[in-house]
Structure 1
Amino acid sequence: MSCCAFGAVAAEYAPRSGWPSDQEIRLASRTVGEDLLQTDLSVPSAHCGGCIAAIEAALTPLEGVVSARLNLTTRRATVKWRKAGKAPPLFQALAAAGYDASLFSLDEPETNQEMRRLVRATAVAGFGAFNIMLFSVSVWSGAGEGTRHLFHILSAVLAVPVVLYSGRVFFLSAWSAAKSGRANMDVPISVGILFALALSLHDTLRNNPHAYFDAVTSLIFFLLAGRTLDHMMRSKARTAVLGLARMMPRGAAVVAPDGEVSYKPLQEIAPQERVLVAPGERIPLDGVVASGSADVDAAIVTGEAASLPVKPGSSVLAGMLNLDGSLEVTVTRPVADSFVASIARLMEAAEHGRAKYRRLADRAASAYSPFVHALAMLAFVGWMTATGDWHRSLTVAISVLIITCPCALGLAVPMAQVMAARRLFERGIALKDGSGLERLAEVDTVVFDKTGTLTLGDPRVTDCSVPHEHLAAAAALAARSRHPAARAVAALAEGRLDVEEFREQPGLGIEGRIGSNVYRLGKAEWVRSQGEASHSGTDQGSTLTCNGEFLGSFSFSDTPRLQARQAVNGLRAAGLEVEMLSGDRREPVSRMAAALGIAAFRSGLLPQGKVTRLEELARNGRRTLMVGDGLNDAPALSAAHVSMAPGNAADIGRAAADLVFFGRGLMAVPDAIAIAATARRLVHQNLALAIAYNVLVIPVALLGYVTPLMAAVAMSLSSILVVANALRFPSMRGRTVASEGPGAPVPIALEAAR
């Protein structure tokens, strides 16, 4: 539970054997762009916000490095660098900054050595502290001089092993920082522990009336208890992702082109290979069903309870459970880019954001290290000048050194963010950037795209006047197009007629020859014309002609996304303005707005028009949340104050969004805003607690009214109080998501997380 301060990084790196070579680093890296590689490093000695600043500052200036981010929960540094030229000296830079590192590997076994080390150290410190406290009670109660001296000797016998064993958690960190020229917050803690122990041993040998073995051991115990709680809390926040990863198989049965079946580890399975998935097995990798049909349980991926039927051509994701039937799946992504890996990276990315409050807390914590030492020295000099009593002066200085450690300030923001990221994940929402959570809590206006966001983007034919004998021709023609309205027409008839001379006019319609007849399907003015027609028109459906003769028309309506009306009502009840922006015609936009209760809407907007509207709202002082899904929404998602996209959105839309939700229900939007508001409230409370604590205790400590024991208890309890306050984050488990039925499309893996 230390708060490391920012420090300078050595410019020169001494040569050392054992560091990975350029080839090893490249093999362990993965491509994330045309000219970029990403290397993941395990940095086990990283502990807090100050470590984030120090590690990122050590890696970012290296030649070829584009970005460097540290995830504190996993203690993993992600470095993106240009593949041209040699690999940057990542390990040398971290060593110069005082951190040991290694290449992160997905094959590493799940271990909890850090947790076991903290538990053992805390247990030893607790045993010593509580026994010494019993001796101290006797001393405080007025024990005679001989008894008091005996109890001090017994306390020393207990305290020295506690300091040597349990205190090494702080000593090693402080020594590592000191060697690299940094001053982290384990430095004043270590100095305070050693000074208090030395002073207590001195007083015990001289048979003085006071000794502070209880303060030394209590300080170590409470600090370790807080650090253990911090570790448990961070691990708990990732339980859902880790649980999904543990349930995944280590390998899969691969079908070779000649039909031979062999078992391969997932890491060795490449795209386009086919894997067998038996009933009761989880789908190991993202892919497309090549043969077989079955119902799959997608709850672990989408959060929905209803099973999902899949058949040849259906997209499936790693983690889905095959309930019945045998499937043969063509792999489309390697294990490192699978849905499970992408979700894990998104969860980790939530801690990478350098939000305003977190930057403020990190700067304050980093500035505190020299401040604490200066204040303790000032207390010693002041009391020496006033009293001439070095013993009293040193006691006050030790108390000031201990009580002013800003551990609570360093924990105030990340603890609330970690819990918020967990709650979002429970609701099927992935947070890509910690700063997005802060911006989400500030929104006062929610702007929705229509097609694909408020609606499913999957129109259905609601009225058809085409004669039945021509439906097969219309369906065959429509099946050649990817337009949503054409897909709706194609679903009206089974079987397919041969279509020749197929041609599609964007924004107008499609035409093709079936036998000796030429069919046209699209805008009325175009299908009836022999030449080109304009793109204008107010028709609300599609007209079918055969050799220029009118046959009939189709009318369409889009299906509102599940919980759309409920989500809009919830946002309005929370005092937020709701607006809809769409590139569609005014008639369908106005109908959808009326159906959902949205008063403000704009239609016929190009992507730049949506951006212009968001900029207009920003100039009027509005802070907008943009919710969109398509390629044309990407500029608006980037321009908004904060943005969300559904998991089945276009790749570029997910890449531009700050949050991604996986279910089809829109209640994810008000849920995310509520979680963000709760996180902001807890951050404010934690910062207020941390600042109020220091404002109150510093004058009292400087005046000499605080003993080292009181300082140890007060400082430790302030940190534990901040963590406990973050643990009050309300759970969302009691809320349910409406079942979306077996027709729910499968969300594809998150490219944005790569």
Structure 2
Amino acid sequence: MSCCAAGTEGALDLERAGVSLPSAEELKLCSRAVGPGLWQVDMSVPAVHCGTCISTVEGVLKALPEVERARVNLSTKRVSVVWKEAVDGVETDPVNLARAIASTGYSAHLFTAAEEASDALRNKLIRAVAVSGFAATNIMLLSVSVWSGAEASTRDLFHWISAMIAAPALIYAGRFFYESAWNALKHGRTNMDVPIAIGITLSYFASLWETIHHGEHAYFDATASLLFFLLIGRTLDHIMRDRARSAISGLARLNPRGAMVLGIDGSREYRAVDEIRVGDQVVIAAGDRIPVDGLVVSGESDLDMSIVNGESAPVSVRPGSEVQAGTLSLTGSLTVRATATARNSFLSEIIHLMEAAEGGRARYRRIADRAAQYYSPAVHLLAITAFIGWGLYDGDWKHAMMVAIAVLIITCPCALGLAVPVVQVVAAGRLFKAGVMVKDGSAMERLAEIEAVAFDKTGTLTLGRPRLVDAAKIEPVGFAVAAGLAAHSRHPLSRALWAAYGGQPRGFDTVREVPGAGVEAETEEGVWRLGNRRFACVADTVVASDKPYSEVVLSLDGFERATFLFEDMLRPRARSSIEALKQAGLDLGILSGDRAPVVAKLAADLGIDNWSAGLTPREKAESCAEASARGRRVLMVGDGINDAPALSSAHVSMAPATAADVGRQAADFVFMRDGLEAVPFAIEASRRAGRLIRENFVLAIGYNVIAVPIALLGYATPLIAAVAMSTSSIIVVANALRLNRLALDENALARKSAVTVPAGAPDNARIAA
């Protein structure tokens, strides 16, 4: 059968089963470009709740030829799929993605903000807890009379009443376990709800058997209480997960639902945020949040940009200023031309980074998922062994059944499945509050392993806001040429040169930028170059400057025409952060493309002994790659296009939010604030997260080491098993929440480093300390 025929047959089977799939048009509309020919779509898969669910959904998607990668986020119950637009020249049908998920028994549909806002699952769980609690309480009251020695007829009556109370409670409150277990079994797989469903069902029918045969003891109270405690555990797990990812939910609420769009004829039309397109002019009133990234066309205002830079002080914007989605207009009205859609704007990018942090397939996460995947079959085998063993041992098959039920319940791998993801999502949320974005949960694992930190200089150790020195002494014609070339570059020194000129620069038809070197333009006079001395000056008579300033050289056909000197400010708290990294036992170094005198002065100011200057992007990357080859785990902190290869080559990487797009995309972490304290804080948070993950593994495994023998020996009733299993999950989640106690105390960081700044020191030194 051809692939096309198979896909059609599968679609018909799903249609007959009443499965609703999103259309190709809906999926394409909700997808966003993530690379040449690559698109990403997020779908909601509300039924996933354990490691086995994750492996099943990811496995079936990765088997499709059009899927580049797939990742399930357990907290948000979403799957992000990166798919190819075409395979072997044939256009891809994105409906195949939803169809593949549906074939495993999990329903998949497009995610909406409204769905996230109304937590229907939480409300259903709370109602189920109430119903099972009501049933358990009333059955317990009836059982008191039975335990007190009621007559046989009264005892049978109370047993039948208990059976009638327990049955609807089991059906209504137990449907979460039954639906999940049946869905898994009918698709030829198992999950952690299968043993739970079997356990509560056997417990009920064993009690019903006793009632029918006028037995003295029935266990309806244990069945209802068992269900009650299981649901409490699942509800608390759900609520704690929601609490752990509250930072993501809070970010989503910052995005307005819509805005007024200005028409060509001057009319105004309210549009939902997802309907705003690039080029639309959006009217923002004072007190409104900006819905999409854009450029101010008219109006002036002060913006609350705390989500961008972490600072409480407002920032003034005027025509020509760039604004980001989620920022708040405080004082005036603006007209903003959209430069990105809502799905590609700043706020959406941050949310995606936050969600990706938990979805990463880190080493610990893979271990937990693999263990959970094989855990359920092992539990079933263990329960069958306990049933047969006890039945043969004492001949009491009813007691053997109770032991088997207790084994099924007590060995549920909920705690093991939660051990890693809950720590990762709590850590990502804590880092976000400190102004650090995490792209992948595995990045935190790698950051905790580092032995050394390598810094770029310009824009990393410094703010990348250089000031031109002695601008008044520069020859006007050369200044105009240099400013014209600098206008075509995003390098901080080029920006500073352009800002210092302030006049009408010389125009150029074509300008080419060479990463890590500079810019050049061919004219009738010759080739003008603006950049580092090695790039600009190819003549043998060139003599390098020994001044401790950053240098940009203007040359014509390789001969120097002008030299521009810049001084830069260190990042706030740079000295205290460097000292904190030293105290953490890390080796520090600087990899810079700047001149040796400048780098040497900066290294001496910060107390860094190991530094290299005049490096090309390739040499930076090779330095990181060589360290990795020697087994040396290095964190590279850099920004700009020239640092991207090194960021990719290092064991783990970090970039400031002011970095070029390429640098931010290559980095594993992005810090939003100006201060350098984000680096030691991220390392400490990652190390603590690693310790908590290991502690959770010990707690989960230790629980089973203790609980399983107790259940096998017959010392745990099904009720005790339910309480123990739920408690183990709650303990694991609570242990992860300890990470929220980690505080970013800038004053404490400064005290810890014991850095002193002499009286009369320049402002640059005081800010850096």
1:361 aligns with 2:368: yes
**What residue number does 2:201 align with?**
194
2:38 aligned partner, one-letter code: L
**What residue number does 1:746 align with?**
none
8 A contact 1:638–1:657 mirrored in 2? yes
| Compared CA separation, residues 233 and 302, structure 1 to 2 (3 A) | farther
CA-CA distance at 1:172 after TM superposition: 0.6
**What residue number does 1:694 align with?**
704
* Whole-angstrom distance in 1 between the partners of 2:555 and 2:70: 60
CA-CA distance at 1:170 after TM superposition: 0.2
Tell me how many residue pairs correspond in the alignment. 722
Higher deviation after alignment, 259-268 or 280-289: 259-268
**What residue number does 1:76 align with?**
78
* Whole-angstrom distance in 2 between the partners of 1:499 and 1:14: 63
Mapping of residues 263-342 of structure 1, within 5 Å = 263-342=270-349
For each residue in 1:628-684, what CA deviation from the matched residue of structure 2 results, as whole angstroms up to 9, or x when unmatched?
112122222122221111122122222221122212221111111111122112111
**What residue number does 2:736 align with?**
726
**What residue number does 2:617 align with?**
607
The one of 87, 92, 100 equivalent to 2:93 is 87
* Whole-angstrom distance in 2 between the partners of 1:398 and 1:157: 21
1:659 aligns with 2:659: no
8 A contact 1:436–1:642 mirrored in 2? yes
Q: TM-score if structure 2 supplies the norm length?
A: 0.85
The one of 629, 638, 643 equivalent to 2:648 is 638
1:100 aligns with 2:134: no
2:217 aligned partner, one-letter code: H
**What residue number does 1:6 align with?**
none
The one of 639, 647, 651 equivalent to 1:629 is 639
* Whole-angstrom distance in 2 between the partners of 1:427 and 1:558: 25
8 A contact 1:43–1:77 mirrored in 2? yes
**What residue number does 1:393 align with?**
400
The one of 470, 478, 484 equivalent to 2:483 is 478
| Compared CA separation, residues 488 and 737, structure 1 to 2 (3 A) | farther
8 A contact 2:478–2:561 mirrored in 1? no
2:384 aligned partner, one-letter code: M
CA-CA distance at 1:706 after TM superposition: 2.1
For each residue in 1:88-115, what CA deviation from the matched residue of structure 2 results, as whole angstroms up to 9, or x when unmatched?
5223322221111223345757321111
- Give SS of 1:32's match: strand
Mapping of residues 387-426 of structure 1, within 5 Å = 387-426=394-433
CA-CA distance at 1:733 after TM superposition: 6.3
**What residue number does 2:184 align with?**
177
2:440 aligned partner, one-letter code: D
* Whole-angstrom distance in 2 between the partners of 1:93 and 1:499: 56
For each residue in 1:511-530, what CA deviation from the matched residue of structure 2 results, as whole angstroms up to 9, or x when unmatched?
999xx9xx999889999x9x
1:488 aligns with 2:488: no
For each residue in 1:568-607, what CA deviation from the matched residue of structure 2 results, as whole angstroms up to 9, or x when unmatched?
1111122222221111111111111112222211112222
1:62 aligns with 2:64: yes
| Compared CA separation, residues 196 and 11, structure 1 to 2 (3 A) | farther
Higher RCO (C-alpha 8 Å, min separation 6):
1
**What residue number does 2:444 align with?**
437
| Compared CA separation, residues 558 and 394, structure 1 to 2 (3 A) | same
* Whole-angstrom distance in 2 between the partners of 1:487 and 1:93: 50
The one of 579, 582, 585 equivalent to 1:569 is 579
**What residue number does 1:742 align with?**
none
8 A contact 1:526–1:532 mirrored in 2? no
CA-CA distance at 1:486 after TM superposition: 4.7
CA-CA distance at 1:533 after TM superposition: 6.1
* Whole-angstrom distance in 1 between the partners of 2:650 and 2:518: 32
- Give SS of 1:729's match: helix
**What residue number does 2:117 align with?**
110
CA-CA distance at 1:243 after TM superposition: 2.6
2:165 aligned partner, one-letter code: L
8 A contact 2:292–2:325 mirrored in 1? yes
**What residue number does 1:128 align with?**
135
8 A contact 1:471–1:493 mirrored in 2? no
- Give SS of 1:15's match: helix
- Give SS of 1:446's match: strand
* Whole-angstrom distance in 1 between the partners of 2:501 and 2:121: 62
1:496 aligned partner, one-letter code: Q
* Whole-angstrom distance in 1 between the partners of 2:510 and 2:27: 51
* Whole-angstrom distance in 1 between the partners of 2:545 and 2:442: 43
CA-CA distance at 1:538 after TM superposition: 2.9
8 A contact 2:50–2:414 mirrored in 1? no
1:252 aligned partner, one-letter code: A
* Whole-angstrom distance in 1 between the partners of 2:82 and 2:529: 51
| Compared CA separation, residues 462 and 149, structure 1 to 2 (3 A) | farther
**What residue number does 1:745 align with?**
none
2:189 aligned partner, one-letter code: R
**What residue number does 2:224 align with?**
217
For each residue in 1:116-144, what CA deviation from the matched residue of structure 2 results, as whole angstroms up to 9, or x when unmatched?
10111112222333444455567667777
- Give SS of 1:182's match: coil
2:13 aligned partner, one-letter code: P
| Compared CA separation, residues 291 and 13, structure 1 to 2 (3 A) | closer
8 A contact 2:245–2:426 mirrored in 1? no
| Compared CA separation, residues 688 and 143, structure 1 to 2 (3 A) | farther
Q: TM-score if structure 1 supplies the norm length?
A: 0.87
| Compared CA separation, residues 205 and 563, structure 1 to 2 (3 A) | same
* Whole-angstrom distance in 2 between the partners of 1:550 and 1:606: 21
- Give SS of 2:35's match: coil
| Compared CA separation, residues 462 and 166, structure 1 to 2 (3 A) | same
- Give SS of 1:672's match: helix
| Compared CA separation, residues 288 and 534, structure 1 to 2 (3 A) | farther
* Whole-angstrom distance in 2 between the partners of 1:381 and 1:330: 73
8 A contact 1:461–1:554 mirrored in 2? yes
- Give SS of 1:210's match: coil
* Whole-angstrom distance in 2 between the partners of 1:114 and 1:253: 34
* Whole-angstrom distance in 1 between the partners of 2:493 and 2:346: 30
* Whole-angstrom distance in 2 between the partners of 1:503 and 1:354: 43
* Whole-angstrom distance in 2 between the partners of 1:135 and 1:564: 70
| Compared CA separation, residues 345 and 484, structure 1 to 2 (3 A) | closer
For each residue in 1:333-372, what CA deviation from the matched residue of structure 2 results, as whole angstroms up to 9, or x when unmatched?
0111111211111111112211111111111111111111
* Whole-angstrom distance in 2 between the partners of 1:401 and 1:291: 67
**What residue number does 1:747 align with?**
none
Higher deviation after alignment, 481-490 or 263-272: 481-490
For each residue in 1:160-183, what CA deviation from the matched residue of structure 2 results, as whole angstroms up to 9, or x when unmatched?
232111111100111111111111
| Compared CA separation, residues 40 and 536, structure 1 to 2 (3 A) | farther
* Whole-angstrom distance in 1 between the partners of 2:9 and 2:51: 22
The one of 652, 667, 677 equivalent to 2:687 is 677
8 A contact 1:26–1:87 mirrored in 2? no
* Whole-angstrom distance in 2 between the partners of 1:615 and 1:498: 42
| Compared CA separation, residues 555 and 162, structure 1 to 2 (3 A) | same
**What residue number does 1:16 align with?**
14
Identity of aligned residues (%): 50
